[in-house]
């Protein structure tokens, strides 16, 4: 191997190590850290972020990238070496534009903002979080200013999460999707609603968590390289190929959400665990984009975990675990209940038919914030107004409205559309999977997920970040991201449940 390539890999490996160390501190902040540790933790994250930024944007790294671009100019563009150089060059160009001092400041500000968000959500008081969100937004706008003018300023943010995607592309996809989802929801609203009161009885937290652990073990989540803890907002984090962790939470008023958040995060984790280990500590390691990542979590949570074949296998065990709560409930009644379509306040608990509307609402608000067309002090009222417009309901308080998501506390603006895009990709992949694995339903009915996970490992997981999201989706399904398969999936599923 080229000496220069070896040297670049060494330097990039050290940058990756610093990022992983920051991830450990971030995980600990949400899982173990006492409330008083927030300020010190912010400083620690700032120091690591600044060192990583300085190390990555050094003149030596820049020169190595330029030399290697010339050295590998005639190489197969799909080779690991060419892909690594291409991604390193792209990341370097972006990082070089952002001063290390800014990275450090953002780490401190977002750490304080997270602690404020936790308090604000607990007290359902947006005013506690407001000054922190204003500061985060100010930093986001400064970040945009470091880059050349884009077609839309939001493009700069979106590109961090969906490389190569443009705001106009996302809007065009959503413009096709929105009216069809609204029509489906209206059709369902005219039908007799399914019974689901048994889902909201008292369920033992530990038994539910243990049940989820058993399910994702069958999925193929590798516990030798993972663990699950509790956090205010469920998430997955990677410290290396051999250490991929997940968290869940328990909600008294919506206990089954614990199970589905475990399924969701395991989808993210199995993607990370399925990476090519040779990509460890290089720019090739990780998901192709957040939409591709979300396609994996939503697939395991919904297309698998809310399917009838899945519950034909697992429902007897669930009923045995919770006999009084599920007394007199059959598998089909349970299946319909967990797929009930009803506008709700909380995005992460939204049904599949209404979920994307939550995302479209957030996208509109983020674009307005970036454009300066929205004053942060008005955000709770505008949020509630948009909820009425999109879903016909009004949140009773800030905790169930504007404060429900953790992302803005991190300054992660530009992120939300990836959730809806992930839904679309999951359905595109699912159509291809069903064409390739003819007896998929029967395998799921038997609790055998090995062929499904094997397919995903081969087609998606092992490639890491080698391909941009649209390229990867095109390679696997034959087309770029498109809403049609998702509409077909929803229409078929809910036509059967509601008799449309």
Q: How confident is the model at residue 371 (pLDDT cuts 50, 70, 90)?
A: very high
| Nearest residue to 456 (alpha-carbon basis) of 278, 280, 202, 275 | 275
Note the pTM of the prediction, 2 decimals.
0.90
pLDDT at res. 236: 97
Q: Say how far apart CA 420 and CA 398 lie, in whole Å.
A: 23
pLDDT (tens digit, 9 = 90+) per residue, 307-362? 999 999 999 999 999 999 999 999 999 999 999 999 999 998 889 999 999 999 99
- As a whole number, mean pLDDT of residues 183-196 equals 92
Q: How confident is the model at residue 1 (pLDDT cuts 50, 70, 90)?
A: low
State the residue for tokens 């959500």.
Answer: 121
**C-alpha distances in Å from residue 406, one per residue of 108, 114, 235, 250, 293:** 16, 7, 10, 16, 18
pLDDT (tens digit, 9 = 90+) per residue, 137-161? 999 999 999 999 999 999 999 999 9
pLDDT (tens digit, 9 = 90+) per residue, 451-473? 999 999 999 999 999 999 999 99
| Nearest residue to 312 (alpha-carbon basis) of 282, 288, 334, 296 | 334
- As a whole number, mean pLDDT of residues 185-201 equals 93
pLDDT (tens digit, 9 = 90+) per residue, 225-234? 999 999 988 9
Angle of helix 484-498 relative to helix 352-371, nearest 10 degrees, comes to: 140
Helices (runs of H) and strands (runs of E) counted in the chain? 20, 3
Taking a C-beta distance cutoff of 8 angstroms, is the pair 298, 264 a contact? yes
pLDDT at res. 492: 96
Q: Say how far apart CA 489 and CA 478 lie, in whole Å.
A: 18
Angle of helix 59-71 relative to helix 3-31, nearest 10 degrees, comes to: 130
Got the DSSP string for 236-293?
Answer: EEEEETTEEEEEE---TTSTTHHHHHHHHHHHHHHHHHTS-GGGTTSTT-S-S-HHHH
| Nearest residue to 440 (alpha-carbon basis) of 456, 425, 424 | 456
pLDDT (tens digit, 9 = 90+) per residue, 47-77? 999 999 999 999 999 999 999 999 999 899 9
Task: Print the SS3 string covering 129-149.
Answer: HHHHHHHHHHHHHHHHHCCCC
For the chain, domains (ranges, CATH) are: 3-149 (no CATH), 167-498 (1.10.1370.30)
- Cβ neighbours around 150 below 10 Å, total: 15
- As a whole number, mean pLDDT of residues 485-496 equals 96
Q: Name the phi and psi angles at 392, rounded to 5.
A: 75, 20
pLDDT at res. 479: 95
pLDDT (tens digit, 9 = 90+) per residue, 436-452? 999 999 999 999 999 99
Taking a C-beta distance cutoff of 8 angstroms, is the pair 244, 224 a contact? no
SS3 228: strand
Tokens of 258: 């614990």
SS3 225: helix
Q: How confident is the model at residue 42 (pLDDT cuts 50, 70, 90)?
A: confident
Q: Say how far apart CA 391 and CA 387 lie, in whole Å.
A: 5
Q: Please say whether the dihedral angle defined by the alpha carbons of residues 431, 437, 441 and 447, taken in this order, is positive or negative.
A: negative
pLDDT at res. 393: 93
Residue 252 has pLDDT above 70, yes or no: yes
Residues making up the chain, counted from first to last: 500
Kindly state the percentage of the chain with pLDDT values over 90. Answer: 91
Residue 103 has pLDDT above 90, yes or no: no
Residue 186 has pLDDT above 70, yes or no: yes
| Nearest residue to 480 (alpha-carbon basis) of 170, 92, 73, 132 | 170
| Nearest residue to 22 (alpha-carbon basis) of 415, 295, 463, 410 | 410
Taking a C-beta distance cutoff of 8 angstroms, is the pair 121, 147 a contact? no
Q: Name the phi and psi angles at 457, rounded to 5.
A: -60, -45
Residue 35 has pLDDT above 90, yes or no: no
Kindly state the percentage of the chain with pLDDT values over 70. Answer: 100
**C-alpha distances in Å from residue 446, one per residue of 209, 262, 296, 428:** 22, 20, 21, 24
Kindly report which listed range (11-15, 229-233, 397-401) carries the lowest average pLDDT score.
229-233
- Cβ neighbours around 161 below 10 Å, total: 19
Catalytic residues: 265
- As a whole number, mean pLDDT of residues 192-204 equals 96
Residue 415 has pLDDT above 90, yes or no: no
Mean pLDDT, all residues of the chain: 95
Q: How confident is the model at residue 104 (pLDDT cuts 50, 70, 90)?
A: confident
Got the DSSP string for 87-124?
Answer: HHHHHHHHHHTS-HHHHHHHHHHHHHHHHHHHHHHHHT
Quick one: which H or E segment has residue 83?
helix 80-96
pLDDT at res. 28: 96
Torsion, Cα of 52, 295, 164, 51 (10° steps): 0
Ramachandran class of 53: left when φ > 0, alpha when ψ lies in -120 to 50, beta otherwise: alpha
* Strand pairing class (228-230; 243-248): parallel
| Rg of the chain on CA atoms, in Å | 23
Q: How confident is the model at residue 422 (pLDDT cuts 50, 70, 90)?
A: very high
Taking a C-beta distance cutoff of 8 angstroms, is the pair 386, 366 a contact? no
Q: Please say whether the dihedral angle defined by the alpha carbons of residues 80, 83, 87 and 93, taken in this order, is positive or negative.
A: positive
């Amino acid at each position: 191997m080229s000496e220069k390539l070896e040297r670049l890999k060494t330097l990039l490996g050290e940058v990756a190590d610093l990022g992983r160390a920051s991830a450990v501190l971030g995980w600990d902040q949400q899982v173990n850290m006492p409330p008083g540790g927030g300020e010190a933790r912010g400083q620690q994250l700032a120091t690591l972020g600044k060192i990583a930024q300085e190390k990555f944007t050094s003149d030596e790294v820049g020169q190595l990238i330029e030399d290697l671009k010339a050295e590998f100019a005639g190489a197969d563009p799909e080779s690991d070496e060419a892909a690594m150089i291409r991604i390193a060059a792209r990341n370097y160009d972006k990082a070089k534009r952002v001063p290390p001092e800014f990275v450090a400041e953002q780490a401190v500000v977002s750490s304080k903002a997270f602690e404020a968000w936790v308090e604000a959500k607990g007290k359902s008081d947006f005013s506690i979080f407001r000054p922190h969100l204003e500061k985060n937004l100010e930093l986001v706008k400064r970040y945009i200013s470091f880059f050349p003018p884009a077609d839309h300023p939001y493009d700069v943010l979106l590109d961090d999460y969906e490389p190569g995607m443009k705001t106009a592309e996302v809007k065009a996809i959503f413009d096709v999707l929105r009216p069809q989802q609204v029509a489906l929801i209206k059709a369902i609203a005219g039908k007799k609603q399914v019974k689901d009161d048994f889902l909201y009885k008292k369920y033992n937290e530990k038994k539910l968590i243990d049940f989820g652990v058993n399910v994702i073990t069958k999925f193929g989540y590798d516990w030798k390289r993972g663990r699950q803890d509790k956090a205010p907002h469920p998430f997955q984090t990677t410290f290396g190929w051999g250490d991929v962790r997940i968290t869940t939470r328990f909600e008294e008023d919506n206990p089954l959400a614990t199970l589905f958040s475990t399924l969701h995060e395991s989808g993210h984790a199995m993607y990370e665990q399925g990476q090519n280990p040779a990509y460890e500590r290089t720019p090739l390691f990780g998901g192709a984009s957040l939409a591709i990542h979300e396609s994996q979590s939503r697939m395991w949570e919904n297309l698998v975990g809310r399917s009838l074949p899945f519950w034909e296998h697992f429902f007897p065990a669930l009923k045995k675990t919770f006999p009084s709560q599920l007394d007199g409930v059959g598998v089909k009644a349970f299946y319909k209940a967990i797929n009930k379509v009803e506008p709700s306040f909380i995005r992460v608990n939204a049904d599949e038919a209404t979920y994307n509307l939550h995302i479209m609402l957030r996208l509109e608000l983020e674009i307005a914030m970036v454009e300066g067309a929205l004053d942060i002090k008005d955000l709770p009222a505008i949020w509630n107004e948009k909820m009425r417009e999109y879903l016909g309901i009004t949140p009773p308080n800030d905790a169930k409205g504007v404060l429900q998501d953790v992302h803005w506390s991190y300054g992660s603006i530009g992120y939300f559309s990836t959730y809806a895009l992930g839904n679309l990709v999951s359905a595109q992949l699912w159509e291809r999977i069903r064409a390739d694995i003819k007896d998929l339903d029967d395998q799921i009915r038997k609790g055998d997920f090995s062929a499904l996970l094997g397919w995903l490992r081969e087609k998606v997981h092992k490639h890491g970040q080698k391909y941009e999201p649209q390229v990867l989706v095109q390679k696997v399904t034959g087309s770029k991201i498109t809403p049609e398969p998702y509409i077909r999936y929803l229409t078929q599923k809910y036509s059967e449940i509601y008799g449309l």
